[in-house]
Structure 1
Amino acid sequence: MIESCSRKRMVIAIAFLIGLSILVLIIENELAPNDTRPHTHTTAHPNMTQKDLCWMREETDNLEECQPCTDLEKKSNSPPICGSASYRQKVKCKDTGIVFKKCDRVVWIEERNFWTFEAVTGAVGLIAGLATVARQKVLDHRILQRIQRQVAAGV
């Protein structure tokens, strides 16, 4: 296993992995889109009126954070934006009134996903650490038994 690798091989393997990681980061940076603006465009839906699109041409105040559309809202197209989008945000247009607009990210869902990922990563790390400690104890016990057998044999 890894115990049989020489120091030179380990250094070469680590250098290779670091180089590969840097190469992946560079390629990912080149392929990622440069547009970081929020995507508030919408595809026209048959039930949408000019009133529903007032947020595109008027000043708005956000009344709610971005929320996912429920299955009922998607099926009934009420509010109309749920017919063409997965997430909606309640806004108040200056002249028109309260409408819903499309939004691309729900902060609380992203936070939940992040903390779920962190918890799973921590659990995997803890389990891996405990497995390493247990394996080390088994190997130490085997070495101790071998030494005891050699001492008992008089070698």
Structure 2
Amino acid sequence: MIESCSKKRMLLGITLLGGLTILVLIIESHWTDHTTGKIFVENIEANSTCFSGEDFKIISECNPCTAFEIASQSIGVCTKTRYKEIVECKSGEKIIRSCDRVAWLEERTFWKFESFAFSGAIISCIIVFWRENILRQRVIRKVARQLRGSV
């Protein structure tokens, strides 16, 4: 089935699938962005008066802890996951809690991967076209040599 597709159809299909992938990633990033939730005791500072399950609002998004904060253990949550975010409890107290991943670091890593994959695809296409031209020229020379030999 795929062998019967022309180059135009294959390129169109790949472009549509790539566009659909980017659209899904954009929609998913908007749907998963949330700023309220529940507090879990194991992820927050020990001296906090926020209760487990209390609603909160994120003041500062998840960011990596500095090397000093990790080494000095000045912020206790930095030793668990090496990431922190500042949240405000419903009671008004601002606390620091650990978080699993930093969104902008994950996004940067994703786009690096996509860039390398795209570059690899472009380089592969160039090499394939270059090799195709070499083989075509060899066939033309071989046919020309055979025609010269038969005359």
Deviates more, 1:109-118 or 1:137-146: 109-118
What is the TM-score with the length of structure 1 in the denominator?
Answer: 0.64
2:76 to 70, 77, 80: 80
Residue 127 of structure 1 is matched in structure 2 by 123
Residue 104 of structure 1 is matched in structure 2 by 100
1:137 aligns with 2:123: no
Q: 1:140 offset after TM fit, Å?
A: 0.4
Question: Mapping of 1:2-151 within 5 angstroms?
Answer: 42=42, 48-51=45-48, 54=50, 56-95=52-91, 97-151=93-147
Separation (CA, whole Å) in 1 of partners of 2:85 and 2:114: 28
- Size of the aligned set, in residue pairs, is 115
> Is the 8 Å Cα contact of residues 86 and 96 (structure 2) preserved in structure 1?
yes
Separation (CA, whole Å) in 1 of partners of 2:120 and 2:97: 40
- Cα deviation per residue 1:61-96 (whole Å; 9 max; x = unaligned)? 110111111211111112221122221111112336
- Give the number of the structure whose residues are more often strand, by fraction: 2
Separation (CA, whole Å) in 1 of partners of 2:51 and 2:124: 51
User: CA 1:114 to 1:55, structure 2 compared with 1: closer, same or farther past 3 Å?
Assistant: farther
> Is the 8 Å Cα contact of residues 40 and 103 (structure 1) preserved in structure 2?
no
Once the two structures are aligned, what percentage of the paired residues are identical? Answer: 30
Residue 33 of structure 2 is matched in structure 1 by none
Amino acid at match of 1:42: E
Structure 2, unpaired ranges of 5+: 4-37
Structure 1, unpaired ranges of 5+: 1-6, 8-37
Residue 10 of structure 2 is matched in structure 1 by none
Q: 1:54 offset after TM fit, Å?
A: 2.5
Q: Which runs of 4+ in 1 moved over 4 A?
A: 38-41
User: CA 1:110 to 1:74, structure 2 compared with 1: closer, same or farther past 3 Å?
Assistant: same
Separation (CA, whole Å) in 2 of partners of 1:147 and 1:40: 76
What is the TM-score with the length of structure 2 in the denominator?
Answer: 0.66
**Structure with larger RCO (C-alpha < 8 A, sep 6+):** 1
